[in-house]
Amino acid sequence: TDSKGLISENTKMSAELFEKAGKVIPGGVTAHIKHIAPHPLVMEKAKGSKIYDVDGNEYIDYLLSYGALIHGHGHEHVQQAVMNQMETDGTTIFGTPHKLEITMAEKLIDLYPGIDMVRYTNSGLEATLLAISTAMAYTGKTKLAKFEGHYHGGYDQVLLSVNPDLEQAGGEEAPQAVPESSGIPEYYVENTIMLPFNDLESVERLLRKHANEISGLIMEPVQGGFIPAEKEFMDGIRKLTEELGIVLIFDEVKTGFRVGLGGAQEMYGIEPDLTALGKVLGGGFPVGAIGGKREFMMTTAVDDSRDILTAGADNTNKKQSVFHSGTYNGHPTVLAAGLATINVLEQTGTMDDLFTKTRKLREKLEAVYQKHGLTMQTVGASSIFNIILTDERILNYRDMEHHDANLRKEIDYELLKLGIYTKPMNRYSMSTVHSDEDIEQTVTAHGEAIRRVLN
């Protein structure tokens, strides 16, 4: 960045708009994750694999709205489905049951081994929240086990040790829950059992020690969308949670439809008790869903013997009923976009092509870093990966200490100037519409970015 606090001389309009936004929006962004120093790039247009900022710069987009846009921007099939749905129904939303809710549920049940029933939410956050409440209601226990470095949405219960300062985070084998935000009641710190990822021995010890109190274990099967759980680790987790009466929750908000049509549970051949979905499921619209085994999912069923309005207030007669509501749950337009997205993914060869393309980009990037004498590995699963500047093995949050984050950051800022878009330090998500030419351009830009940084 230059002396005027610009990402480049060609991003002045973005900087001006950011300044203007800061007067009416705290910090100038509507989500913490959208913040980039010295200013975010304010986007104006997009099509396919490309995104354009207000200064008219073109970028190949690997952020893809944090992985949500698996078919890139403005996919014809998805847009058409949204238009058709609004036209056919004559409205954007009924606020009552409608047919698409069943169609999508049947689709998810068909694709996800661990899903027998489905409820909808409006975000991934709400889906993990509902899954946790369900686990607590079902087991009658009040503690939650989660992994250090795993993100499940921005709320008190899970905003613990996502990206903790290691000075405060305790020993490797028994990490401490560190709040990621001000305003998180101590209650959640006390009621969270923090676990080290890919360390079965420590996990077993901690789960056994607290088994009588732990309602559920929530995890990203692929941490941050790029660090996969080891197969034996996953097998161990499934066995232990079953034995100890702990509800196993897979947060597949990132991995759903991205590591395979049936998510990580299909990839690992493991059936969780509950699954949280989001992102790709909404085809670019806000969405979430929770699915799972019938016996757990029925916890959210409305008890017919009581009026819906008393749900949540009347505790007699509903030992295991979880209140779940939402004005926009199962939104028809969103489900139409999601179904169209899945339909395209289901076309023969689409997933394979996507994975082949991602592998190709990873291999070419590894080669270009090697050529410039930089130690680098790509770490990922199927259509998502990250660029890690170390040759140490990366199996969990603490292993990322080996990664040369400063160098990566410098390269990422150069990449922005060279028309490659991902948020600095973020992972890469591929889409079905990235072309061979995009891949070539991306690899060339990395070579140039490395040259500039090393000089």
The catalytic residue positions are 151, 251, 279
Residue among 61, 148, 199, 251 that touches ligand PLP (CB under 6 A) = 251
Residue 372, SS3 per DSSP:
coil
Max distance between CA atoms of the chain, in angstroms, equals 73
Q: Identify residues 49-68 at the interface with ligand PLP (CB under 6 A).
A: 66
User: Does 148 contact ligand PLP by CB under 6 A?
Assistant: no
Contact by Cβ (8 Å): 389, 399: no
Contact by Cβ (8 Å): 63, 96: no
Task: Specify the stretch interacting with ligand PLP by CB under 6 A; choose among 73-81, 97-105, 121-129, 312-320.
Answer: 121-129
Q: Which whole-number Å values give the CA distances from 49 to 65, 80, 259, 334, in the listed order?
A: 12, 18, 19, 21
User: Does 138 contact ligand PLP by CB under 6 A?
Assistant: no
Q: Identify residues 151-180 at the interface with ligand PLP (CB under 6 A).
A: 151-153
Residue among 254, 331, 417, 434 that touches ligand PLP (CB under 6 A) = 254
Q: Which is nearer to ligand PLP, 275 or 300 (CB)?
A: 275
Task: Specify the stretch interacting with ligand PLP by CB under 6 A; choose among 146-154, 241-249, 394-402, 447-455.
Answer: 146-154
Residue among 220, 266, 271, 414 that touches ligand PLP (CB under 6 A) = 220
Strand order through the sheet with 384-388: 377-381, 384-388, 428-429
Residue 41, number of CB atoms within 10 A of its CB = 25
Q: Would you state the structure tokens that stand for residue 172, as one six-digit string?
A: 């490797």
DSSP state for residue 175 in the 8-state scheme:
P
Strand order through the sheet with 143-147: 117-121, 288-292, 274-278, 247-251, 214-219, 143-147, 192-195
Residue among 48, 72, 175, 278 that touches ligand PLP (CB under 6 A) = 278
**Least separation, in Å, of the C-beta of 268 and ligand PLP?**
16
Query: Peptide bond before 228: cis, by omega within 30 degrees of 0?
Result: no
Residue 262, SS3 per DSSP:
coil
Type of residue at 435: S
User: Does 218 contact ligand PLP by CB under 6 A?
Assistant: no
Which residues on neighbouring strands pair with residue 384, listed in sequence order?
381, 429
Residue among 14, 123, 215, 241 that touches ligand PLP (CB under 6 A) = 123
Total of chain residues touching ligand PLP, rule CB under 6 A: 14
Which residues on neighbouring strands pair with residue 222, listed in sequence order?
228
> Residue with the closest Cβ to ligand PLP?
124
User: Does 411 contact ligand PLP by CB under 6 A?
Assistant: no
Angle at 84 between CA 52 and CA 345, to 5 degrees: 65
Q: Which is nearer to ligand PLP, 220 or 271 (CB)?
A: 220
User: Does 253 contact ligand PLP by CB under 6 A?
Assistant: yes
User: Does 338 contact ligand PLP by CB under 6 A?
Assistant: no
Instruction: Please name the helix (run of DSSP H) or strand (run of DSSP E) that holds residue 201, with its range, or none.
Output: helix 200-210
Q: Identify residues 70-109 at the interface with ligand PLP (CB under 6 A).
A: none
Q: Which is nearer to ligand PLP, 400 or 445 (CB)?
A: 400
Q: Kindly calculate the radius of gyration of the chain based on its CA atoms and give it in whole angstroms.
A: 22
**Least separation, in Å, of the C-beta of 146 and ligand PLP?**
11
Q: Identify residues 299-318 at the interface with ligand PLP (CB under 6 A).
A: none
Give dist(CA 376, CA 23) in Å, integer.
41
Type of residue at 316: T
Binding mask 3-32 for ligand PLP (x = CB under 6 A): ------------------------------
Q: Which is nearer to ligand PLP, 196 or 221 (CB)?
A: 221
Give dist(CA 146, CA 132) in Å, integer.
11
Name the residues that contact ligand PLP, by CB under 6 A: 66, 123-125, 128, 151-153, 220, 251, 253-254, 278, 288
